Amino acid sequence: MISMAQTLPRPSAGIVDDIEREDNRRGFEPEDLAAFHALVRHLTSDGDRRAACAGRAARRTLAQMTGR
């Protein structure tokens, strides 16, 4: 039991924090990249479909996006 005269031990990082730091250091895992690329492909095809329905083409370059 901790009495009023004692101080509480200072919290420290645990094993979970160590594992998380190591995982972050390694970067994205292949399955994370595959999921990201699938999302980008889906968004691209959705944008192309919406632009075609509106009689337009999706902008692909910075010059097209800025109207230069």
Q: Is 22 part of a structural domain of the chain?
A: no
> What 3 state SS string does 4-65 have?
CCCCCCCCCCCHHHHHHHHHHHHCCCHHHHHHHHHHHHHHHHHHHHHHHHCCCCCCCCHHHH
Q: What is the pLDDT of residue 8?
A: 66
Q: What average pLDDT does range 57-63 have in this prediction?
A: 84
Per-residue pLDDT of 18-38, as tens digits, reads 888 888 888 877 888 899 999
Domain that holds residue 35: 30-68
pTM over 0.85? The answer is no
Q: Is 61 part of a structural domain of the chain?
A: yes
Q: Is 18 part of a structural domain of the chain?
A: no
CA 10 to each of CA 7, 13, 21, 65: distance values in angstroms, whole numbers, following the listed order: 9, 10, 20, 54
Q: Residues 64, 51: contact at Cβ < 8 Å? A: no
Q: Is 19 part of a structural domain of the chain?
A: no
Q: Given pLDDT bands bounded at 50, 70 and 90, which one contains residue 52?
A: very high
